[in-house]
């Protein structure tokens, strides 16, 4: 009998953390009044039902990859890390104009990252939390050193501008996080899942425009997502009272508030800061969580060392959440 060779495996560091964060939004501000000039809606309806005051729309020649390059570069600058030190780029998104080519490879090249592993990840509005979980586990397994995760969306390409149910919600932007090894754990285990039986509640009609059954997604999000957030805390060995900052996907301010209320009923503190970035950013799908984190760090409402609980949810239906330590 010949000896069979055994495969050698790598072992990475035990812990990871977010080293830096960055984001970008288009310059063009679109108010509710602007929208009410082109469709049957009103500032009052949008504020009351969704919580959005204004959002940003990209110009025609401002692409998803352009926003991803800016957000990714800013996350590297925030971490003080040179592009040459990154070996993997994950780009959660669901609005690339076509599936080929992916966004990640060209974005990495434009940032100056040389021949990284690069792939897009589609878990819609849960994409960033999925990407962060994959990044952390790649590093811990020894497969990657430093991983750049960039959630980027140009949702205005995917929305019928005359569809008042969707055109008032969705917007454009990108947010990124650089992930690397850490002595102390800075990213908790990801808790994720899906409900493929509800696939028809959000989809693209004829590969063109997003359609969603708003009310049923709303009910699902307000009942099923807080328990996922609590499971993410448990997975990290934390209690609801440990959470300093809660960042749910910015789909609708009423959903955000419902999730916060459920967490407080389970012991989260009254002074827990709750992200309300949707007010000025709209719903930017996979970009919404890292963009909110970046804005909250800049505003001082999320501080270095804070326990931040993030939870994403959306088409698939898909969901994912984890606790992190704010960089």
- Within positions 266 to 295, which residues make up the interface with ligand UT7, using CB under 6 A? 283
Check binding of 221 to ligand UT7 (CB under 6 A). yes
Q: How many residues sit in the footprint of ligand UT7 (CB under 6 A)?
A: 20
CA-to-CA distance for 172 and 191, rounded, in angstroms? 27
* Residue keyed to tokens 């693209």: 204
- Taking a C-beta distance cutoff of 8 angstroms, is the pair 74, 175 a contact? no
- Find, among 147, 148, 178, 176, the residue nearest to 70 by Cα: 176
Taking CB under 6 A as the binding criterion, the range among 110-118, 177-185, 210-218, 229-237 that sits at the site for ligand UT7 is 210-218
Residue of 58, 64, 125, 273 that binds ligand UT7 (CB under 6 A): 125
Check binding of 144 to ligand UT7 (CB under 6 A). no
Shortest distance, CB of residue 91 to ligand UT7, whole angstroms? 18
Sign of CA dihedral 82, 86, 92, 93: positive
**Strand pairing class (15-24; 29-31):** unpaired
Shortest distance, CB of residue 311 to ligand UT7, whole angstroms? 12
Q: In what order do the strands lie in the sheet with 15-24?
A: 15-24, 172-182, 147-154, 88-92, 117-121
**Per-residue interface string for the shown chain with ligand UT7, residues 170-209, x marking contact by CB under 6 A:** ----------------------------------------
**Per-residue interface string for the shown chain with ligand UT7, residues 15-54, x marking contact by CB under 6 A:** --------------------------x---x---xx----
CA-to-CA distance for 223 and 54, rounded, in angstroms? 27
Residue of 21, 30, 58, 168 that binds ligand UT7 (CB under 6 A): 168
Q: Which residues is 90 bridged to in the sheet?
A: 119, 149
Give the Å distances, CA to CA, from 253 to 3, 18, 153, 218: 62, 26, 19, 11
Q: Give the residues lining the site for ligand UT7 (CB under 6 A).
A: 41, 45, 49-50, 125, 164-165, 168-169, 212, 214-215, 217-218, 221, 251-252, 255, 283, 314
């Amino acid at each position: 009998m010949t000896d069979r060779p055994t495969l050698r495996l790598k072992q990475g560091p035990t812990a990871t953390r977010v080293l830096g964060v960055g984001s970008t939004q288009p310059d063009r501000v679109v108010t509710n009044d602007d929208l009410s000039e082109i469709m049957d809606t009103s500032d009052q309806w949008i504020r009351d039902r969704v919580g959005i005051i204004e959002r940003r729309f990209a110009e025609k020649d401002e692409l998803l990859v352009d926003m991803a390059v800016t957000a990714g570069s800013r996350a590297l600058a925030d971490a003080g890390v040179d592009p040459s030190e990154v070996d993997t780029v994950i780009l959660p998104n669901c609005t690339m104009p076509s599936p080929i080519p992916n966004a990640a490879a060209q974005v990495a090249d434009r940032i100056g990252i040389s021949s990284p592993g690069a792939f897009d990840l589609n878990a819609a509005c849960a994409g960033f939390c999925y990407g962060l979980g994959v990044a952390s586990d790649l590093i811990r397994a020894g497969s990657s050193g430093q991983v750049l995760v960039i959630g980027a969306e140009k949702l205005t390409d995917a929305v019928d501008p005359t569809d008042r149910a969707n055109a008032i919600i969705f917007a454009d932007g990108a947010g990124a996080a650089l992930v690397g090894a850490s002595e102390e754990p800075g990213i908790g285990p990801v808790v994720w899942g899906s409900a493929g039986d509800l696939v028809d509640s959000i989809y693209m009609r004829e590969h063109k425009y997003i359609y969603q059954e708003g009310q049923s997604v709303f009910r699902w999000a307000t009942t099923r997502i807080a328990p996922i957030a609590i499971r993410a805390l448990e997975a990290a060995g934390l209690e609801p009272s440990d959470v300093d900052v809660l960042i749910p996907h910015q789909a609708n301010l009423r959903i955000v508030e419902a999730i916060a209320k459920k967490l407080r009923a389970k012991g989260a503190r009254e002074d827990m800061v709750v992200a309300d970035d949707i007010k000025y950013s709209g719903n930017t799908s996979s970009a919404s969580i890292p963009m909110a984190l970046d804005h909250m760090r800049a505003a001082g409402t999320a501080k270095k060392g804070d326990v931040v609980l993030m939870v994403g949810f959306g088409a698939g239906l898909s969901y994912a959440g984890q606790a992190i330590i704010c960089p």
